Amino acid sequence: MKRGSVLLRKSLADVTRRKGRSMLVILGIFLGVLGLTAVNVANDTFGRQFLSIVAPTDVPNATFTVANLPSSVLTDLPHVANVETVEVRTQIDANWRLADGRSASLELNGYQRWQTTQLNTFHLTSGRWPGPGEVVMASRDRFVQSVTPGDRVSIVRPTGQIVVLRVVGLAYTVEQSPAQAVAYMSAEGLRQLVAGSTPDNKLSPSLTSEILIKMHDQSFNGVEVTYAILTSLLKAAHVTVSGSHRFSTAGQQETQLGITGFLTVLLVLASIALLLVCVMILNTVNMLLTEQMKAIGTMKALGGTRWRIIQGYLVSIGLYALVGTAPGLGLGLLLCSQVTTIVANQAQLDLPPFQIAPWVILVSITVGLLVPVFSALGPLWMGTSIPVCQAMAAYGVSPGKRQHASAWGRRVHWVPQTVWLGVREIFRRPGRATLTLFALTISGAMFLAVQVANESIGTTLFHERNLYIYDMRVGLASNLVVSRQLRSQIQALPDVAQITPSDTRTFVMTSGGELLIDALPTTRQVYQPHVLSGHWLTNQGQPSLVLSDTAAQRLHLQLGEDVTFRLEIPQAQSIRWKIVGIVHELAYASSNASSTVRLGMAFTTLDTFQTLANLPADGPPNIWIFAHDHGPQALQQLRKQVVTIFEQAHVQVNLDTPVLDQAAQLDPTVTVYALLDTVAILVALVGILSLSNTLAASVLERRTEIGILRSLGATGRRIGLVFWIESLVLALIAWCIGVAIGLPGGAVLVEMLNTFAGPFDTIFNPGVVVVTLLFVVAVSIISSVGPALSAARLPIGEMLRYE
C-alpha cells in the first residue's frame, strides 16, 4: 500500500511538474476525442435523422387526388401488379389565419385510424390524438408560426367562414413542404369542418380523397409503368382525378449513399487526428523517459520491477487521458447538438428530438482512455529496459549526439549562426524530429487533400446546378404547349431579350441501366458541351445521339456505334440511334455503389425527340427566357409579369428562375466545406501541439546552451528566433513531403466520395499548394510562440544552474 502510494505521488508529480507539457498532451487528447465524438454523433444521429428527411422510406411512389372513390376501386388497387401498399386519407387545402393577419396554406389530412398508417407516417411528440373540433399540428409548422398544445388556430372554411380549432398535440412527420403547413384531424372532424356531409362514397367538392400507393419495384421505369396502369384503372372506373404525382426512389438511394459515404470520409479523417494524438504521446513519453533516466535507475536500484515502474508512468498517462477525454466528450456532444439545430433551422428541416446513442459515448470514452495508454506501452517497455548502471550514469536531459551536426556545421560555415543553431537541433534528435515531421506532414497533407476535395465537390455540384444557362424556364403539363400567342406576349415584355424552346427529357432503359435523354437546341447558347470526340448536335442526317463519357464507358460504346434503348412511355418501343459525339458530362450518373444504375445523359435535337415522344406539333411544352437584366430585382419583376400572362390565359405553369431559387435555398456545398474543413483544422491543431511539444522539449534540453548564449550577449529576441527557425524548417520539410502526399491523397478522397456520392471530377487548383504553404507556415509560427517566449525570458542564472 505504501509503495503504491509513493508511485501515485510520483505520477502526480510527473503531471504537475511540467505544466506546459501536460497541457499540450491533454489538449491533444481533448481534440482527438472531440473530433471522434462529433463525427460519431453525426454518423448516428445527424446522418440518420437527415436521411429520414431527404430519403424517407415511407414515401408513396404514386398519389392520386380524387373527388369520388367507389369502394370497388379500393378493392381492385391492391391487386395491380407491382403494388405493395395502398392507403387512403381525406384531405382539404385550407387557409390558416396567422396571428399577424397574414394567411398561410394549410394541408388538413383526415384519418379514420391513426395507428395503422404506413405511408407518409407521423407520430405524436406531445399531446394526444384529435377529436371533432380539434387538430394536431405538425411540429415543422413552427417555421410558419409558433404553435403549442392548448393554442387555437383559425381556419378559413371553403364557404369563407372562419372556424377556430383547438390544438391538442404536435406530430413529427417526414412530409417536408416549406411552402405549406400540415395538420391532422379525425376523418369525422374534417367532414364537419367542410360545410355539409354527404354519403360515404361521395365527398364535398372541397373535400377530396388522396390515394397513397407504394410499389415493389421503385425504379423509374417500374414506377412509370405501374402509374400508367393505375391511371387507366381509375379512368375506367370513372373516378375524377384532380391531381396526381409519382415518385421514384432512385434519387433517394443516391442521396442516402452520398450522405453515408460522406460521413464515412469524415470518420476516416477523424481517425487520422487520433493517430496524430498517438504520435504526440509517443514523443511525450520518450521525452519523459529521457528526462528521468536517473529516476528510473534509482527505482530499479531500490528493487522496483520493470512492470512496477511502467505502471507508475501509465498512471500519469491515464491522468492525461482522463482530463482530456471528459471535456472532449462533453464539448463534442454539445457542438453536434448546436450544429444540428443550426443546419436544420437554416434549411427549415424538422428533425426529431436530439438523441445520443449509448455506443457513441462508450466509444469516445474507450478510445480517449485506452488509446493514450496503449500508445505509451511501446516506448515505456523499451525505455525501462535500460540497465541500472547505464541509467545512473545518464546525465538526464542530454543534448543528443553532436558529431554529425558539428561536421555539417564546419562544412556550411557560410550559414548564419542563428540559422544553424535552429537547424542543427533537428539532427541532434532525429527520432523526435521524425515523429514531429510525421505529425506536421499529415496535417499539411490532409489540409491539401481536403482543399482538393472541396474544389472538386464544389465545381461539380455548381456545374450540375447550373447545367443550362438561362434566366427563366417555363414548364407546362406534358399535354400542353406554350401557344404562339403566349410566346408573343412574353417576347413583347421589355426585359425579355429572347425566348427559345426548352429542353424535353425522358429516362429510357438500355442494356446497362437507365439513360436520361435530353432534347436541346442545336445552338450552344444554353448548354456548353465539352466535346471529347465527334461533334455536337446538328439538324442534318438520321436521328442520332451525343452521349456522355460516363454513359459511353459503362455501355462500352464508342463514337460511330449504335445505342439501343427501350422507351416505355407513351408506348413500349425499341429504338436504335447512332452516336455522333461524346461529351464530358457527369450529371445524372449514379455512384459506383448504387443499386440503381443511372448511366448519365445523352442529347438529341428537339425535332428528333418531338417525333419520338409524339409531342404536339406546335412545339415542346417548355420554353427558356433570356433577359436583358440578370439582376435579382429585375428577374423578380419579370417573373411576376410572366405569371400574370399565364394567369390571364387560365394556364397553370411552373417557373424556374435559378438566380432567385438558389438564393432562397441552403447551398449544400457550404455544409460540406464546413465539415471537411473542421476536421482538417482539428488535425492541424494536433500538429500544432506536436510541434509545440517538440520545441518545448528543445528549450528544456538546451537551457545551459541558451544561458551561455545569453551571457555572451545574445538578446532574448535572437534566442527566440533560433526556435522559430527550428519550427519553420520542420514546417517547410513537412510541406514538401505533404504536397507529394496530399495531391494523390486528395484524388483518393474524391475517389472515396465517387464510390458513394459521385461521380465528381478531380480538380486541382495550383493556388492550393501556395495556400497549404501559408497554412504550414502559420502552424509553425503559432507553435513556436510559447517555447520561443519561454526561452527568451528565462533568467541567465537559472539556466546555467540547470542540469
CA distances from 719 to 131, 600, 746 (A): 81, 62, 39
User: To 10 degrees, the CA torsion angle through 340, 345, 349, 350?
Assistant: 80
> Is the confidence at residue 511, as pLDDT, over 70?
yes
Highest average pLDDT, of 372-381, 505-514, 528-537, comes from 528-537
Cell of 3: 509503495
Kindly give, in sequence order, each residue whose CB lies less than 8 Å from that of residue 28, ignoring residues fewer than 6 positions away: 276, 277, 280, 281, 324, 686, 689, 690
- What number is the average pLDDT over the span 585-610? 78
**What pLDDT is attached to residue 663?**
62
Give the Cα-Cα-Cα angle 106, 110, 113 (nearest 5 degrees).
145
> Is the confidence at residue 636, as pLDDT, over 80?
yes
How far does CA 738 lie from the centroid of its chain?
25
Q: Would you call the peptide bond into 494 cis, given omega within 30 degrees of 0 as the criterion?
A: no
- What number is the average pLDDT over the span 540-551? 83
Banded pLDDT at 203 (limits 50, 70, 90) = very low
> Is the confidence at residue 479, as pLDDT, over 80?
no
Which range among 85-99, 480-494, 762-776 shows the weakest confidence by mean pLDDT? 480-494
**Identity of the residue numbered 325:** T
> Is the confidence at residue 188, as pLDDT, over 80?
yes
Kindly give, in sequence order, each residue whose CB lies less than 8 Å from that of residue 194, ignoring residues fewer than 6 positions away: 92, 157, 158, 204, 206, 207
- Return the half-sphere exposure (C-beta side, CA atoms, 13 A cut-off) of residue 30: 15
Q: What is the pLDDT of residues 640-660, one digit of tens each?
A: 888 888 777 777 677 778 877
**What pLDDT is attached to residue 91?**
84
- What number is the average pLDDT over the span 59-67? 83
- The answer to whether 637 and 631 are in contact (CB under 8 A) is no
CA distances from 380 to 219, 282, 388, 712 (A): 59, 9, 16, 39
Q: What is the pLDDT of residues 285-339, one digit of tens each?
A: 776 776 677 777 777 777 777 788 788 778 888 888 888 888 888 888 887 777 7
How far does CA 785 lie from the centroid of its chain?
35
Give the integer Cα–Cα distance in Å for 503 and 473.
Answer: 9
Closest to 120 (Cα-Cα) out of 79, 61, 70, 73: 61
- What number is the average pLDDT over the span 509-516? 80
> Is the confidence at residue 111, as pLDDT, over 70?
yes
Per the model's pLDDT, the better-predicted residue between 389 and 629 turns out to be 629
Give the integer Cα–Cα distance in Å for 24 and 16.
Answer: 12
Give the integer Cα–Cα distance in Å for 741 and 747.
Answer: 10
> Is the confidence at residue 238, as pLDDT, over 90?
no
Give the integer Cα–Cα distance in Å for 185 and 111.
Answer: 7
Highest average pLDDT, of 313-317, 338-342, 396-400, 541-545, comes from 313-317
Query: Quick one: DSSP state of residue 217?
Result: -
- What number is the average pLDDT over the span 132-137? 89
Closest to 546 (Cα-Cα) out of 569, 573, 566, 524: 524
Kindly give, in sequence order, each residue whose CB lies less than 8 Å from that of residue 762, ignoring residues fewer than 6 positions away: 452, 456, 746, 747, 750, 751
Per the model's pLDDT, the better-predicted residue between 603 and 412 turns out to be 603
- The answer to whether 583 and 532 are in contact (CB under 8 A) is yes
Cell of 491: 417576347
> Is the confidence at residue 582, as pLDDT, over 90?
yes
- What number is the average pLDDT over the span 722-742? 82
**What pLDDT is attached to residue 413?**
57
> Is the confidence at residue 67, as pLDDT, over 50?
yes
- What number is the average pLDDT over the span 605-621? 63
Cell of 699: 528549450
Banded pLDDT at 774 (limits 50, 70, 90) = confident
- What number is the average pLDDT over the span 190-217? 67
- What number is the average pLDDT over the span 394-416? 51
> Is the confidence at residue 775, as pLDDT, over 60?
yes
Give the integer Cα–Cα distance in Å for 684 and 771.
Answer: 14
- Count of CB atoms within 10 A of residue 486's CB? 20
Q: Is 652 helix (H, G, I), strand (E, B) or coil?
A: coil
Give the integer Cα–Cα distance in Å for 705 and 692.
Answer: 20
Query: Quick one: DSSP state of residue 493?
Result: S
Q: Is 108 helix (H, G, I), strand (E, B) or coil?
A: strand
Kindly give, in sequence order, each residue whose CB lies less than 8 Å from that of residue 607, ignoring residues fewer than 6 positions away: 539
Cell of 601: 445523359
- The answer to whether 90 and 222 are in contact (CB under 8 A) is no
Q: Give the chain's radius of gyration (CA, Å).
A: 35
Kindly give, in sequence order, each residue whose CB lies less than 8 Å from that of residue 617, ignoring residues fewer than 6 positions away: none
Cell of 549: 463519357
- Count of CB atoms within 10 A of residue 759's CB? 19
Q: What is the mean pLDDT of the chain?
A: 76
**What pLDDT is attached to residue 254?**
62
The burial class, CB within 10 Å (0-12 / 13-18 / 19+), for 212 is buried
> Is the confidence at residue 348, as pLDDT, over 70?
no
> Is the confidence at residue 62, as pLDDT, over 70?
yes
- What number is the average pLDDT over the span 498-523? 80
Give the integer Cα–Cα distance in Å for 699 and 786.
Answer: 10
Which range among 76-85, 532-541, 672-681 shows the weakest confidence by mean pLDDT? 672-681
Give the integer Cα–Cα distance in Å for 625 and 359.
Answer: 54
**What pLDDT is attached to residue 196?**
45
- Return the half-sphere exposure (C-beta side, CA atoms, 13 A cut-off) of residue 381: 6
Q: What is the pLDDT of residues 239-282, one digit of tens each?
A: 888 777 777 665 556 666 666 677 777 777 777 777 777 777 77
Q: What are phi and psi of 182, to 5 degrees?
A: -130, 140
Per the model's pLDDT, the better-predicted residue between 513 and 7 turns out to be 513
Give the integer Cα–Cα distance in Å for 706 and 397.
Answer: 14
**What pLDDT is attached to residue 547?**
92
> Is the confidence at residue 403, as pLDDT, over 60?
no
Kindly give, in sequence order, each residue whose CB lies less than 8 Å from that of residue 735, ignoring residues fewer than 6 positions away: 444, 772, 773, 776
**What pLDDT is attached to residue 542?**
73
- Count of CB atoms within 10 A of residue 116's CB? 8
Per the model's pLDDT, the better-predicted residue between 170 and 306 turns out to be 170
- What number is the average pLDDT over the span 53-79? 79
Grid coordinates 398544445 are at which residue?
149
Helix then strand count (H, E) for the chain reads 24, 21
- Return the half-sphere exposure (C-beta side, CA atoms, 13 A cut-off) of residue 490: 25
Banded pLDDT at 605 (limits 50, 70, 90) = confident
Where is 243: in which H helix or E strand? Answer: strand 241-246
Query: Quick one: DSSP state of residue 745?
Result: H
Percentage of the residues of the chain whose pLDDT score is greater than 90 = 2
**Identity of the residue numbered 278:** C
Give the integer Cα–Cα distance in Å for 107 and 180.
Answer: 7
Q: How would you classify the pairing of strands 62-66 and 241-246? A: antiparallel
- What number is the average pLDDT over the span 431-456? 82
**What pLDDT is attached to residue 781?**
77
Closest to 34 (Cα-Cα) out of 207, 194, 256, 270: 270
